[in-house]
Structure 1
Amino acid sequence: MSAQRHILILGGTTEARQLAAELAEDPALRVTTSLAGRVARPRLPAGQVRIGGFGGPEGMARWLREQQVDALIDATHPFAGTISFHAAQAAASVHVPLLALRRAGWVPGPGDRWHQVSTLTAAADALPALGGRVFLTTGRMGLATFAHLTDQWFLVRSVDAPEPPMPPRTEILLDRGPFTVEGEAELLRRHRIDVLVTKDSGAAATSAKLVAAREAGVPVVVVQRPPVPDGVPEAADPAAAAEWARALPG
């Protein structure tokens, strides 16, 4: 058995890449990052990389055992869905320490015109009363939720090209952050956007659109984060997560 402690990072976020880069420099650690494989050309982190699902919590638990993982860090996107619950179940079943690296959510400030909703469906329901030209930045996976909206025009931004179904009046913008306030403000002006739809990802790389919307007086529909497992210790940033990993018993 290797003397190195094996750390598995459930990644796909900027914080996960920063954490992998920091831990990979420690000779006492072996770092593997798992990516879901939903992005065609992901930014690969330092250390070893695996791509694809595990096959549920049982499959993840089996992988943890077979690969002799000593600790698991859930650094997935706040809207990654059920993976955090699978991680909690898998880690508990094989008695592997688990830490969740969760970035802080966005908080509205003076001048913001936020409409907070719990789901994409609620966001779609809110749009007819808010505007006809929509900047949709919720990713390509949920476009079907808005496909029935025939009166609105949508500017949809995503990393990879989305597939139907989608709203009939849609323009696709393929781009990846970080974005600037100036660039986002220009998008709002050029496309005459009167409502922005986003998820509360909390990422600094994509928060410029919120500032631009505030300055332009554009209302923002913010989809709140889904629930996360109870009882899982959390770190607010990669530095704290790295400290936790290094402090694990050898």
Structure 2
Amino acid sequence: MRRLLFALSLLVAVGLTVAAYAFAEARRDPVVRRATIALPLWPTGERPIRVALLSDLHLGSAASDAARLRRIVAQVDTLRPDLILIAGDFIFGDREDGAVLHGPAMIAPLRALRAPLGVIAVLGNHDYHTGAEVVRRQLQAAGIRVLSNQAARVGPLSIGGIDDSVTGHAKVVAAANLTRKTPGARVLLTHSPDVARFLAPDMTLLLAGHTHCGQIVLPLIGPIAEVSAPRYRCGIVREKTRTVIVTAGIGISGVPFRLGAPPDLWLLTLGPKAAR
């Protein structure tokens, strides 16, 4: 009996230690990952630019509050990006009034983002679950432009914003066509990377979030849940003519834990293809 009680106590202690570590991992500042991507159709004479990619703030969870968001915004600003892109899921949970409850706290921190070419975002599935129109107004108050199956010329880029596919709001073909018609090197921004399979070969760069890189990834087992195709779980995915970059995001969904999938953001250097 003593051995059994000792074993149970040991298991409880180990479980509590892992939970404490996983909660601290979810609250940590994001890892900054870097990549350099050469794009076709780069306008002649335009210099390369630095683009910060963020996603999945999930404000309102135990792991994401306004104080942490202010700290992350300061971290992004020290990277001195030319442009900031945010790939959706600003609000935590699925409550219909979630954006009303949690969204106001993100306005002031996000307003402090600094980039000469501005800040552009798309919405994610949790934004629709919690009040998409409210989130749009809050982002507008923070000085952030939201693209909903639209395209915009931003510096040397033609940026296409594909709306959320998880909730059925994506119009992939329409957004791609608008991106083609807009001058500049083509970049698509969306929440879920699964839209990649519907893209034509001339859409050579897709930036996304949604997956949290698995959020809880167990040794030898892998992620306990998948929300997108496994090939798009995390990081840089090369597909013939296309590059897909999936950020782990900075927040959490569900339980306030991360394990084996730390929060991250990307700092991308985008520029022209080298001349042959």
TM-score category of the 2 structures, normalised to the smaller one = 0.3 to 0.5
Q: Could you tell me the TM-score, scaled by structure 2's length?
A: 0.32
| Greater RCO (CA < 8 Å, at least 6 residues apart) | 2
